[in-house]
Amino acid sequence: MRCLFPHISFRLPVLALFLGTALLVEDAKADPSFDVRAKTKDKITATLYVSNVFVLGKARQGSFGAPSINDKGAIAYACILSGSGLSSLSSNSVVVRLKGKKPAHVAIQADNIVDDSFLPPVPGAPSAVSQTGRMYRIGRDVAINNKNRVAFAGQLLYTKSSWGIDPTFSTADTSVYGELTPATKKATAFYNFGLSRYLDFSEDIFTRTISLNTQGSIAYDAEFGITSDQFVPGFAYSNPANYFTFDDGSRSPSPVVIATTESPVIGLPYFTTFQSFSPSIIADHNVAFVVADISDTGDSFDGIWQGDNPDLQPVTVKNTAAPGGGKYATFGEKIGPSRNGKMCAFTATLSGSVSAGVFRVNKDGSKGVRIAAVGDAAPDNALSGNLGNFTAFDLAVTNNSGQVAFQGSVAGTTTDRSGIWLSDRNGSSLSLIVVEGQTIRVGSVSKKITKIAFSPISGLNSKGQVAFTASFTDRTSAVIVAQL
């Protein structure tokens, strides 16, 4: 045999060694790489107030909200600026940084003057008055789409007089959604595209959920007029490409109301209506996802619903069998659909032996996958040390490929530690991205993470890149893009 096939006698061990090595490589999980896109004390050009004159000058980036990342690797984030010539009226900003070494740009800054004539009226209410305003505060979450448009929420200060005539601005109980678009193809500068609509102002402006799709539509929640004195909660979207024209010739993005608490639930007994909605999240083709509670005649259908008009369709509802065992009991407040809207990820509590988990399902509720559950061993890596088991879940999002990124907690020695994990396209083979308590390098310095901010709406792109903000023990923070 050796004479006929001499290569077999000495190459089989080599082949076995090679295959064994390949299997080891396949089983090994690589640690993520970290690309620090911004950090505390980084310089940035901003509008400063020096000697009673507004000028462009150098400010420094301070603390950051949860960043958004698009499929091109560009990021956008809310940022508090510091430096001489800045005040509480001008320190809030939205910053954009494109892929590569290109510098970051302030897309909009509090105290910037804007023309809010783009604001459409709330249906049933008097028309908005064209006037000049300026941003005061900006929410911590922003969104960026693949055309580098950016959406944000903020509080508007305004006066009916123009800036040149009356520079005195008063606080209005008004918040706005704004959208920005690049001023040039290279996106070296940005200008205000227009403000989407008035909303009742409240402190939740700082945590308001922002979503923006490829078509530039922004989803928002508000009260809408049925009559001149009756308003009901609901959700809508506004697309700057769709305008209606006022009598004076001015134009405004036309809002499309998807559903309100007066909308009937199609397919259930007559006059069964929606009772309440979670923040609406918009995907491509203006399909919005919400967690909806139904009135008493249909409360067994409380759950996740989706659609672009009042004929919403259920994705999955309570008491439905969950993949991996148990039944859905309640759903997390924020739903993380893929950008194309074909899938969504979410957290839910369960009835049964497992108390809670992270799940991914198709838009029609089919092909459900349990990504992780309380009590499962939490994957770790060389930077984290052993993490034990999952104890709770907060946020989840999926991309067009089916990968799911979620923020969850593991039991620490004194308090639970929060972290971000990423699945493969099949919804399995979890890998740790980052966890509180681990140490990473920021520039030439190693820093210990104390807090993580992650967006379940736009913190994951189609390439599997995860964007998050980390705060450290030395009272600094950084915006980071991680990739396995």
pLDDT band at 108 (very low <50, low <70, confident <90, very high): confident
The reported pLDDT for the residue numbered 12 is 38
Contact 119/158 with Cβ under 8 angstroms?
Answer: no
| SS3 state of residue 286 | helix
For residue range 241-300, what is the model confidence (pLDDT) as tens digits?
Answer: 666 665 655 555 567 889 999 999 999 999 899 999 999 999 999 999 999 999 988 889
Percent of the chain scored above 70 by pLDDT? Answer: 75
For residue range 15-53, what is the model confidence (pLDDT) as tens digits?
Answer: 444 444 443 333 345 789 999 999 999 999 888 877 777
Query: What residues does 244 pair with on adjacent strands?
Result: 252
pLDDT band at 195 (very low <50, low <70, confident <90, very high): low
pLDDT band at 154 (very low <50, low <70, confident <90, very high): confident
Contact 257/123 with Cβ under 8 angstroms?
Answer: yes
Q: How many CB atoms lie within 10 A of CB 61?
A: 26
Contact 319/339 with Cβ under 8 angstroms?
Answer: no
Provide CB contacts within 8 A for 58, sequence distance 6+.
43, 44, 45, 46, 83
Rg (CA), the chain: 25
The reported pLDDT for the residue numbered 117 is 52
What are the residue ranges spanned by the domains of the chain? 32-262
Q: Taking all residues of the chain, what is their mean pLDDT, rounded to a whole number?
A: 81
The reported pLDDT for the residue numbered 221 is 82
Q: How far apart are CA 262 and CA 270, in angstroms?
A: 12
Q: How far apart are CA 297 and CA 200, in angstroms?
A: 31
Contact 222/197 with Cβ under 8 angstroms?
Answer: yes
Q: How far apart are CA 292 and CA 432, in angstroms?
A: 32
The reported pLDDT for the residue numbered 204 is 64
Q: How far apart are CA 327 and CA 355, in angstroms?
A: 10
Q: Return the residue matching tokens 């639970």.
A: 416
Residue 116 dihedral angles phi and psi, to the nearest 5°:
-95, 25
Buried b (16+ CB within 10 A) or exposed e, 380-411: bbebbeebeebbebbbbbbbbebbbbbbbbbe
Left if phi > 0, otherwise alpha if psi is -120 to 50, otherwise beta: which for 62? alpha
The DSSP element (H or E) to which 22 belongs, if any, is helix 6-27
Contact 476/63 with Cβ under 8 angstroms?
Answer: no
Query: What residues does 448 pair with on adjacent strands?
Result: 439
Does residue 447 or residue 25 have the better pLDDT? 447
Left if phi > 0, otherwise alpha if psi is -120 to 50, otherwise beta: which for 58? beta
Q: Return the residue matching tokens 């052993």.
A: 386
The two tokens of residue 151 are 């959406």
Does residue 39 or residue 103 have the better pLDDT? 39
Contact 122/200 with Cβ under 8 angstroms?
Answer: no
pLDDT band at 183 (very low <50, low <70, confident <90, very high): low
Among the residue ranges 212-226, 278-292, 434-448, the one predicted with the least confidence is: 212-226
pLDDT band at 185 (very low <50, low <70, confident <90, very high): low
CA geometry: angle 412, 417, 421, nearest 5 deg: 125
Model confidence at 99: pLDDT above 50: yes
Q: How far apart are CA 316 and CA 359, in angstroms?
A: 11
Percent of the chain scored above 90 by pLDDT? Answer: 50
Model confidence at 391: pLDDT above 60: yes
pTM: 0.86
Provide CB contacts within 8 A for 181, sequence distance 6+.
147, 148, 149, 190, 191, 193, 216
DSSP 264: B
The reported pLDDT for the residue numbered 5 is 32
The two tokens of residue 360 are 């991914």
Compute CA distances 253 → 246, 432, 459, 480, whole Å: 11, 42, 27, 34
The reported pLDDT for the residue numbered 303 is 97
The reported pLDDT for the residue numbered 11 is 39
Contact 118/253 with Cβ under 8 angstroms?
Answer: yes
- Per-residue DSSP letters for 68-114? EE-TTS-EEEEEEEESTT--TTT-EEEEEE-SSSPPPEEEEETT-EE
For residue range 314-346, what is the model confidence (pLDDT) as tens digits?
Answer: 999 999 999 999 999 999 989 999 999 999 999
Range with top average pLDDT, 65-69, 126-130, 182-186, 206-210: 65-69
Buried b (16+ CB within 10 A) or exposed e, 225-238: eeeeeebbbbbbbb
Cα 401 to chain centroid distance, Å, stands at 18
Q: Return the residue matching tokens 């055309």.
A: 147
For residue range 353-384, what is the model confidence (pLDDT) as tens digits?
Answer: 899 999 999 999 999 999 999 999 999 988 78
